[in-house]
Structure 1
Amino acid sequence: MLNDLLMTDALMEVVSDAREKANKHGERFNIFSILRAHRDEARTHSRFLHELLNPQGRHGEGSAFLHLFLENVLRLQASGEGRYRVSRELATEEKRRVDIVIESSDTIVGIELKIDAADQPAQLHDYYQELQRRAGGDKQIVLVYLTLDGKSPSAMSLNSLRKEKVACLSFADDVSLWLQACIEKSQHKPALAHAIQHYQQLIHNLTGKGGTMNDLVAGELNSDMERFKESLEVEKSLPKAKASVQEVFWQELRAALESEFGITPSVYGGKSIAAISKDYYSKSRDNKHVGLKMPICRLEDKDIYLYINLYHAVHYGLRVENESGIAIPSPDLREMTRKEIGKGNAEADREATWLICYYYNPAAGDNDKIINFNDFNSAAVGLLDDEMRRTLIADMVAHQGELAEKAKALCSR
């Protein structure tokens, strides 16, 4: 890993020992991580939580888990058995989807999950409006914003909605404690309890809590002054080192795109590739939507662009721009594109401003190729290897070329 390149032998020993201790009971054997589904909001987190909360779920425990969530997490008085309806991906009038909705005769709860996806304009505002519409003035409304660390939603997502109307919960504390209660409640069903334990361990891994390797390394460093000093020097060096890896990626990707399309992509989110790479790791930087873009074709009055965007992970696809150079929703063109091409595999593919969006070419690899510069995962570290980096970029550009040709075919009709 990148950290290893900057470490002394003493620090390497600490990390190695911690890695071994953290796997003492097989904790690294996590089914979600092995299947590379650990950060998938829709297909992993939303589905698993919905299944536990659903009184008709295959766990066979009725409303037991739901009541634990309502009473212990949301501090709501749960009604009797069979009085709740739990739905997933509830469509709103604005053609958005609330991740999970819990509804009874007197209460409606909407839950928005965030792992990697960014807030969208007026997202929570629209969700609250939908809950209000469904409540009809007769039900208590609770809108939950569930993130890894319990952070507050952006002003952009709230729009005119007051922040007091949103309950901010965290996977790290609120969900983890609830899962522990579910595990204790299901001890009579070992397979069920083990499944929930795997998900709880996944949450611990994502949030850095509960005996993970990070916790053990921290414990060792706290008791050794010299090693702690060494780690501080490594910490100071890491942002610059990560930025340099990211800069090489963007430079080579832009050169490959220019060779493929005969057009030099423009940089957005900053003045230059060097600037967006450096600023990405700045503590003062809130907006991490940066990358490259280039025009592909024009359909009637709509300009279609190829975007390669970075928030946490690199994702790319087709978007429509207005005259001010801002990506805007185009429902009709989005529907047409998806009929012809299908759906993308990135979280952002759910967002209205993308016609289609991918993390990687689904025909030429798996999600090991997802480059997450925020967490600096194994794919990001792999960019240090010249051959691996060039192979990944070549595959990415080849797929982007296919998307561009399909877009041009749509435009020529």
Structure 2
Amino acid sequence: MPIPILTFKQLINKVKKLNRRYEQLAASSGENFNIFHILKLQSSETRLHSAFIAELLNPKGTHGLKDEFLKLFLKTLEIKPTDFNTQTATVDIELHVGAIGKNYETGGRIDICIRDTSQRKIIIENKIYAPDQRNQLVRYHNYDNLANLYYLTLDGEKPEETSSGQLKINDHYKLISYKKDILEWLHLCRERAVVQPILRESFTQYINLIKHLTGQTINDYMNEEVASLITENQENLEAAFILYNTLDHACERLLNKLKIEVSEIANELGVEYNFDIDIRFNKRFKGISFYPEGWERLKIAFQFQSYDKDLVFGIARKEVESGALPSIWIITISQRIQANERGVNEWWPFHEACEPYTNWDLYEPWAAIISGEMKRFIKQKVEEILELFKDQKF
């Protein structure tokens, strides 16, 4: 027997009331305030994440707790204390290990490298939204094949084969995530810093940021209340399952709406476009591309960088191709886009996270499609690039 429409509405209204109550609580408690968001550093791998983590891991760091946080890090990664001397450790970010060789098997810059006086190393390749580079993990493994090599991402996804080559997970490198490993470590660190209020609150701010980036923003207490509501009776449970199973279909309808709006944007701006987004998000590098007239090798792109619906925006290559881009293009782009914090790589001369619509596992991007804000957001981004480079033919 079909569930009455009234049951769906009642369930949805009750959840909405709960959500409003917890939103008010978050606002009154100051939980919504996050210094990293305010400074627009939330997706900056080098300026925020690598720098913050490295400072905590450094026994000579300004936190003043010597190797306490490094010990907790080794504990989280299940590295035996006898396998690494934390007291003598040094920590480097963006460690230059030589120019990248012609065969892409040596050289590069290591995001985080921890070394003790016996030259035992822990190497971390830190990926928030940036794409994998050619033979990146291979190069770092070749730099020191005895090092503990970790591939750190938001959710623990695997690297592209273009980065890992023939290396095998757990044999040559390990996967770790912000969602599990880094959060677990940060909580341990905060407990250790409980009597140091400034340090403790810095941990709280960063933990809240990581929860936001990994789609864990729902208050734990609210989670419990919603779970209790759903399991209150069979009708609520059945209604919740039906809503869950139809969510992809609802989002697909919204993507169809967005596709029409992207076509309208392209027509209004006089550019060609391609819309290639799969609702299952099971393939990387899908997204929306705009092709300005005269741009033969580059495009303006909105692209999902991982299987977890993380959207970035920037100037990218039209096709996967060999050969370096003209250096004058890179210089021109870097000079004109001063906010390019994420650096340059061989596929993206410029790219940034699509804040506040980076994580499409969350509600906000889909709500923005309904309101029309997503169309305005995309059009504004494209217009800015077209205006900045109206005299260029890439």
TM-score by length of 1: 0.76
Partner of 1:289: 286
How far off is 1:246 after superposition? 2.7
Name structure 2 gaps, 5 residues minimum.
Answer: 1-6, 101-106
- How far does residue 219 in structure 1 lie from its aligned partner after superposition? 4.7
- Matched AA of 1:330: L
Query: Paired residue for 2:246?
Result: 237
Secondary structure at 2:167 match in 1: coil
Tell me which residue corresponds to 2:29. Answer: 26
The answer on 1:57 being equivalent to 2:69 is no
Tell me if structure 1 keeps the 8 A contact 2:114–2:123: yes
Aligned-partner Cα distance in 2 for 1:230–1:241? 15
Residues 122, 148 of structure 2: 8 Å contact kept? yes
User: Structure 2 residue aligned with 1:89, among 74, 94, 109?
Assistant: 94
User: How big is the shift at 1:51?
Assistant: 1.8
Partner of 1:168: 175
Contact 2:129–2:353 (8 Å) recurs in 1: no
For the residue of structure 1 that corresponds to 2:139, the secondary structure is helix
Residues 230-288 of structure 1: CA deviation (Å, up to 9, x unaligned): 12222222222223323333332333234423x432x2xxxxx4xx34x2x226x2324
Q: For 1:62, what is the secondary structure of its paired residue?
A: coil
Paired AA for residue 95 in structure 2: L
* Higher mean displacement: 61-70 or 374-383: 374-383
Q: Which whole-Å deviations, capped at 9, do the CAs of 1:331-357 have from their partners, x for residues lacking one?
A: 62453234542455475x543212223
Pairing of 1:218-367 with structure 2 (within 5 A): 218-261=227-270, 263-265=271-273, 267=274, 273=275, 276-277=276-277, 279=278, 281-282=279-280, 285-294=282-291, 296-297=293-294, 303-311=296-304, 312-321=309-318, 325-327=319-321, 329-330=324-325, 332-343=327-338, 345=340, 347=342, 349-359=343-353, 367=355
- Residue in structure 2 matching 1:116, options 125, 129, 146: 129
CA contact (8 A) 1:99 1:112 kept: yes
Instruction: State the AA in 2 paired with 1:203.
Output: I
Q: CA deviation at 1:358?
A: 4.4
Give per-residue Cα distances to partners, 1:11-52, cap 9 Å, x unaligned: 331343256358479373352575254444333322221221
Give the AA of the match of 1:341. R
1:395 is matched with 380
Change (3 A) 1:344 1:305: farther
2:129 and 2:312 in contact (8 A); partners too: no
Q: Distance in 2 between matches of 1:47 and 1:171?
A: 15
Judged with a 3 Å threshold, the aligned counterparts in structure 2 of structure 1 residues 143 and 197 are, in CA distance, closer, same or farther, namely same
Determine if contact 1:89/1:97 at 8 Å carries over to the other structure. Answer: yes
Change (3 A) 1:166 1:80: closer
Task: Go from structure 1 to structure 2 and tell me whether the alpha carbon gap of 1:236 and 1:195 turns closer, same or farther (over 3 Å shift).
Answer: same
Aligned partners of 2:108, 2:261: CA distance in 1, in Å? 36
Residue 46 and residue 222 in structure 1: after superposition, are their counterparts in 2 closer, same or farther (change >3 A)?
A: farther
2:159 aligned to 147, 153, 164, which one?
153
How far apart, in 2, do the equivalents of 1:217 and 1:96 lie? 48
Describe the superposition over 1:65-99 as per-residue Cα deviations: whole angstroms up to 9, x where unpaired: 11221244241324253x11111122343374322
Distance 1:72 1:292 in 2: 41
SS of corresponding position for 2:280: coil
Structure 1 residues 234, 115: CA separation in 2 closer, same or farther (over 3 Å shift)?
A: farther
Q: Which runs of 5+ in 1 are unaligned?
A: 1-5, 133-139, 268-272, 361-366
Tell me whether 1:188 sits opposite 2:174 in the alignment. no
Counterpart CA distance in 2 for 1:183 and 1:195 is 9
Mapped to 1, the partners of 2:244 and 2:392 lie a distance apart of: 44
Q: Using the alignment, how far apart are the partners of 2:155 and 2:311 within structure 1?
A: 22
Cα gap change, 1:397/1:108 in structure 2, threshold over 3 Å: closer, same or farther? same
Shift of 1:144: 0.8
SS of 2:62's equivalent in the other structure is: coil
CA contact (8 A) 2:138 2:165 kept: yes
Is the 2:150–2:174 contact (alpha carbons within 8 Å) kept by the matching residues of 1? yes
Match in the other structure for 1:364:
none
Quick one: distance in 2 between partners of 1:21 and 1:259? 41
Q: Is the CA contact 1:147–1:171 (under 8 Å) kept in the aligned structure 2?
A: yes
Q: Single out whichever of 115-124 and 16-25 deviates more from structure 2.
A: 16-25
Find the aligned partners of 1:53 and 1:344 in 2 and give their Cα distance: 28
> 2:272 is aligned with what amino acid?
T
Alignment of 1:42-53 (within 5 A): 42-53=46-57
Q: 1:222 to 1:169 in 2, by over 3 A?
A: farther
Across the two proteins, how many residue pairs are aligned to each other?
367
What percent identity do the matched residue pairs reach?
Answer: 22
1:198 corresponds to 2:195: no
**Which residue is 2:112 aligned to?**
100
CA distance in 1, matches of 2:344, 2:235: 48
Q: Letter of the aligned partner of 1:103 in structure 2? A: R
Is 1:375 the counterpart of 2:375 in the alignment?
A: no
Amino acid at match of 1:237: T
Return closer, same or farther for 1:242/1:42 CA change in 2, 3 Å cut-off: farther
Q: CA distance change for structure 1 residues 405 and 34 in 2, over 3 Å: closer, same or farther?
A: closer
Query: Quick check: 189-198 or 206-215, which moved more?
Result: 206-215
Equivalent residue for 2:70?
A: 66
Contact 2:215/2:359 (<8 A) preserved: no
Q: Shift of residue 141 of structure 1?
A: 0.4
Q: Distance in 2 between matches of 1:350 and 1:220?
A: 48
- Aligned-residue Cα RMSD (Å) equals 3.3
- C-alpha distance in structure 1 between counterparts of 2:225 and 2:47, whole Å: 31
TM-score normalized by structure 2? 0.79
